[in-house]
Structure 1
């Protein structure tokens, strides 16, 4: 691993269980991985300190938050100067609607995952927030039809 922490099978089992349910008590986690609670807790703390476990969070239904439409957006840029690209990235990253933002090799240059209420909200987002950013050459939007598998 890049952080110098080598995972053994027990670490992997702990991570697997925590990914499935981050609210497990240490006692329940220890039982599931075949440890007693004190060494299990030490391992979890080591994984946290090493940066292997980067945090805990609640998964919230987008629909419950009024964001029932997910759109995958590809963005191509027409510039290559670093200053314009950094400004474009910081602008897009600041939008609440953008829940994932990746620069990729090749074409397109960026992929965004956008959550909004409906098609009208997406149209407003694209028209008012994305199209006018300096350097944006092309935007292709692909609304999600059905989620088959999602891994957080």
Structure 2
């Protein structure tokens, strides 16, 4: 599995923890930035990670900002990205099972690092169920095509 990861300054420390956690599990990652806690724009990193996932170069993406809200909104502007802001393990599993999310967003100022690592593991370890859920994903894709010209 290949994971693209990115954060703004608010998510930088948590991103570094998640990177180390994934590396210990021998998961290939690419860090799309930022590289410090200096103020920066989350949209830049959402775009870079989203493009890497949509292109197929990376299987999934993880994005972190202070709340996870802004970075998830930015990522979801990219056609083909289904990014979910998650704050608990149940939702992490459900968003993979039912929504086939390809990008996970986390709020570094909202959840602790221990929970964040549990969420990442739950999300990465859960497969899409398909079936009736695929019909819903297809409808989302139709909406996306309608409004993204």
- TM-score of the alignment, normalized to the shorter chain, above 0.5: no
The structure having more radius of gyration, on CA atoms, is 1
Q: Give TM-score, length-normalised by structure 2.
A: 0.23
